[in-house]
Amino acid sequence: MDGGEEVTPLIFGEHDRPDIDVLIQGRLIVKVLVVEDEVKTAKFLKKGLSEAGYVVDIAADGLEGLHLALEVDFDLIILDVMLPGQDGWHVLARLREAGRKALVLMLTARDTVHERVRGFELGADDYLIKPFAFSELLARVRSLLRRSTPRAQDTLRMADLEIDLLRHRATRAGQKIDLTSKEFVLLTLLARRAGEVLSRTQIAETVWDMNFDSDTNVVDVNMRRLRSKVDDPFQLKLIRTVRGAGYVLEAEQ
């Protein structure tokens, strides 16, 4: 990374709250790789992007970044130009030569036409000049993901439950339900697979991108919290436990 710049403190504005713009191509997990050798900046980006709902991996140099990008199917790569080992230009060129289609957002401290043209010719999708505000980086990430993805279904409905995927909003009987980012992802998963019993393993792997450990109750705890918001205030219950199998979203008969 180019030295000397100060990193803007991580502060979410009104429009930067965690959202579900991460829902692309029907998937609930969007994987982002940040290739950045400056530790403070890397932590800053991982914290902000994770809070916005993305699954984030970090690489500290060009060689590690290239290896990860070739081994893992990332949706987006945030790639610094000035890196030890191999610079961002070389990493980008190798990725495109290998046929990797991941979106690439380049970071650089040098704002010149030559730099931008070189990046686009090598296959970069966007450019961001340092120092930057996190709100701008997040806006560019969202924009890239939207542009690259065909518009999917915008709204999911079950009985009086309505889930607006674009506005990250859920309502029942017209009443807004205040959900965290993970709760919204969890509810959306159940709604997309309405009527289908989902095991705890399926839920953990999809929502948390993790292997389910029978010793952890993360799924059950979050499901209880979700039901307290989605079902408890209403007479009609939609989320049902199937003993020994998992959970299902359906209108009770």
pLDDT band at 53 (very low <50, low <70, confident <90, very high): confident
pLDDT band at 61 (very low <50, low <70, confident <90, very high): very high
Say yes or no to pLDDT of 95 above 90.
Answer: yes
Least trusted range by pLDDT, from 83-87, 147-151, 184-188, 211-215: 211-215
CA distance 105 to 87: 14
Q: According to the model, what pLDDT value does residue 214 have?
A: 55
Q: According to the model, what pLDDT value does residue 251 have?
A: 83
Q: According to the model, what pLDDT value does residue 154 have?
A: 72
pLDDT band at 171 (very low <50, low <70, confident <90, very high): very high
C-alpha radius of gyration, the chain, whole number: 20
Share of the chain above pLDDT 90, in %: 45
Domains of the chain, by residue range, sit at: 31-148, 155-249
Q: What are phi and psi of 240, to 5 degrees?
A: -125, 140
Q: How far is CA 187 from the centre of its chain?
A: 16
CA distance 151 to 231: 30
CA-wise closest residue to 141 among 221, 46, 248: 46
Q: What is the CATH number of domain 155-249?
A: 1.10.10.10
What average pLDDT does the structure give for the chain? 82
Say yes or no to pLDDT of 24 above 50.
Answer: no
Say yes or no to pLDDT of 43 above 60.
Answer: yes
User: What number is the average pLDDT over the span 39-59?
Assistant: 89
CATH of 31-148, one of 3.40.50.2300, 1.10.3720.10, 3.30.420.40, 3.40.50.450: 3.40.50.2300
CB 230 within 8 A of CB 187: yes
Angstrom distances, CA of residue 3 to CA of 11, 71, 125? 22, 29, 24
User: 83-94, pLDDT tens digit by residue?
Assistant: 998 999 999 999
Q: Do domains 31-148 and 155-249 have the same CATH topology?
A: no
CA distance 194 to 205: 18
